[in-house]
């Protein structure tokens, strides 16, 4: 599981962890029973305070996304209801809203944005060209 944290940008770090784990579960990249890294391990990987990871994990447990087991770590809960299609749509809507706001700030109109999304989709379907570090 790879998470990307942007300190000082956007939501608080614990919220970034929550959002990314929810996305990974909603997209099927994390499945029921999959183990998450221990709190200290993830904190070391992300170079953040372990309390921040613990807060994110607790929130994910409250949402029903994770099951926290004392001594045996955190696993994705078997309960799929928190990430039903409505939840998936909500996650995607948040991302689209952010993309739309950023495109307006950068001076792109909706037609240019849609064209870019189509080009990126085509590139990713053709074997992942441009996944990292490539320009549109």
Of residues 4, 74, 83, 18, the one with CA closest to residue 66: 74
What values do phi and psi take at 35, rounded to 5? -85, 140
d(CA 57, CA 74) in angstroms, rounded, equals: 8
Which 3 state secondary structure label does DSSP give 5? coil
Along the 136 residues of the chain, how does pLDDT read in single tens digits? 889 888 887 789 999 999 999 989 888 889 988 999 999 999 999 999 999 999 999 999 988 899 887 777 899 988 654 455 676 777 788 889 889 999 999 999 999 999 999 998 888 788 644 444 444 5
State if pTM tops 0.85.
no
Q: What is the 3-state secondary structure (H, E, C) of 20-55?
A: HHHHHHHCCCCCCCCECCCHHHHHHHHCCCHHHHHH
């Amino acid at each position: 599981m790879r998470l990307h944290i942007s300190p000082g940008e956007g939501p608080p770090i614990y919220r970034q962890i929550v959002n990314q784990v929810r996305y990974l579960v909603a997209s099927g990249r994390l499945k029921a029973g999959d183990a998450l890294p221990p709190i200290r391990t993830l904190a070391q990987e992300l170079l953040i305070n372990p309390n921040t990871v613990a807060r994110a994990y607790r929130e994910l447990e409250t949402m029903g996304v994770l099951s926290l087991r004392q001594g045996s770590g955190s696993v994705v809960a078997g309960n799929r209801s928190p990430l039903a299609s409505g939840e998936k749509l909500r996650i995607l809507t948040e991302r689209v809203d952010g993309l739309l706001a950023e495109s307006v700030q950068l001076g792109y109109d909706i037609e240019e944005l849609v064209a870019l999304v189509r080009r990126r989709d085509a590139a990713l379907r053709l074997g992942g060209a441009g996944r990292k570090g490539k320009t549109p």
